[in-house]
Chain A
């Protein structure tokens, strides 16, 4: 059974640029959630995708957007990067949108200069 994988591991961007982060969910999981973890903080919920549709969203601006593909992998896109977007971005997959267990990937460390 393959776990949750994320790419890239690290990324450096400059303010104003756009970035795409990728996540492959665990085998058999159809739901993907994205979280932002700023340094020294707990993860904050960005949004969740279920069967290619957004299923809920946290308190993040529209420049944070996502996609989920038929194979349930997912992308997080962030436009007009700001310095405060520097964080670890975590993807978590679950077997159903109401499932209590979420399995996290290793994260993508984004640095915005």
Chain B
């Protein structure tokens, strides 16, 4: 079974500071991992995904994440926070449906990022 734990429901950083959002996963198979961002009153936008290959994944808006199998982690980072980064961030792991013919996402409970000017 797959599951995701996001440590820290709220994170505050100063503008220009490092952003670090934590995600740990549990998966019985090699995981496919994702980070999504959700702005107020909007749907989810894909930031980046890890499937296979390089463990450091670069996404949009300067975000990146590193898959660490030994730590079962997929933390999201950005070197310098911008005011526009303030949003809700969700980590997700993809799992097969019971039919094995499709995929569903298992989401964490989200981390709300506040950027302080």
For residue B58, give the distance in angstroms from its CB to the closest CB of chain A: 16
Known contacts A41-B109, A42-B90; is-contact A101 B46 (Cβ 8 Å): yes
- Minimum C-beta distance from A113 to chain B (A): 20
Complex-state Cα separation, A101 to B4, whole angstroms: 18
By DSSP majority rule, is chain B's interface helix, strand, loop, or mixed?
strand
Interface segment out of the listed B13-21, B65-73, B78-86, B91-99:
B91-99
Which residue of chain A is the closest to B110 with respect to CB atoms?
A42
Which residues of chain B are within 8 angstroms of A72 by Cβ–Cβ distance? none
- Is A70 located at the chain interface by the 8 A CB criterion? no
Would you call A71 an interface residue if the criterion is a C-beta within 8 Å of the partner chain's C-beta atoms? no
B104 touches A56 (CB 8 A): yes
Cβ of A76 under 8 Å from chain B: no
Q: A58, B103: Cβ atoms under 8 Å?
A: no
Within 8 A of B (CB), among A73-113: 90, 92, 94, 97-107, 109
Binding site for B on A (CB under 8 A): 4, 6, 31, 33, 35, 40-45, 48, 50, 55-56, 58, 90, 92, 94, 97-107, 109
